[in-house]
Amino acid sequence: MSTAIRVLQGQFGRVALLNMDRPLVTHAHSQCHVLIKVSGTDTFFSVCDKRYPLNERTAVLINTWEPHSYTHHNPNAPHTVILALYIEPLWLGQIENSLISSQLPGFFPNTCVEIPRPIRTLSDSLAMQMLYGEQFSDDYLQSQLSNLMILVIDAFSQWRSANVWNAGARPYAQDSRIRRAISIMRSSVGADMDMNKLAAEACLSRAHFFKLFRQQTNLTPNLYCNILRVEAAIHGLTDSRQSMTSLSASLGFSAQSHFTRFFQQHTGIVPSQYRKVVDIYRSGDPPAQQNENRPRA
């Protein structure tokens, strides 16, 4: 059974040290997603229906809202320990204004990259500190994450390129009808989402609604609803002491077991374990001294 060794969560997003031996369903995140293997068997991630290797030499880089999944390629193989970074673009924008472009499609043009020694050294150090239960100060943790993300971004992103701002690259739906549907979804997380009614609210037929939604977001409406549900579940687990029964009901699950299975299929962790292993950091600002190390044009 896949487990979380430790999760760090704050305004920067989330950092999880995961011990994986079970698949994850197709899902996506509103954050930049960086996956680095720490130990165990070599494995693969599927991103936009293409398979990419994750091993000691590679990292998998996933753009915001990019659909991906995980299949432990050999169910009899040992676990794979993965350092998974889910980094908020708004937090990166506080380090360097131009890094707000990390919310755009195509920010990472290559999904699978060969990682240089500095990235490997820093990611291994962070993973080992998480594994052995080190208690991080806000400044230290955010400095480590800033340094690691800057190394990754400087090496593998298009943040300096004007091409990332082309007309086809937007972090939001440009069609007002799809924006209206998304607004309804966001205000109704946990409600029974009737796609026929949602299409009607957008003044579209069901078929046209599904086609246009995918064109505008690269996701299906159902997948988008699931993403919102997972994020709401994470906030419910960390920002409140709601019982699992109450939280699962508020998210629209008819039974707690259904919520547990859904959450594990999307994150690799059961909800009760997430609550036990997560450390919450309330500070939102990257350390001031990080400006000395930020990438420069």
The domains of the chain, with CATH numbers, are 3-167+278-293 (2.60.120.10), 176-277 (1.10.10.60)
Instruction: Quote the CA–CA distance of 119 and 138 in Å, as a whole number.
Output: 21
15-32 in b/e form (b: 16+ CB < 10 A) is bbbbbbbeebebbbbbbb
Q: What is the three-class DSSP state of 176?
A: helix
pLDDT for 286: 64
Sign of CA dihedral 75, 79, 80, 82: positive
- Within 8 A by CB and 6+ apart from 253, the residues are 259, 262
pLDDT at residue number 151: 96
Taking the model in full, what pTM does it have?
0.90
> Which segments in the chain show pLDDT lower than 50?
162, 167, 289-297
pLDDT of residue 166: 55
Tokens of 131: 């594994």
Q: Which ranges of the chain does DSSP label H, i.e. alpha helix?
A: 89-95, 117-131, 138-156, 176-187, 195-201, 206-217, 221-239, 244-250, 256-267, 271-277
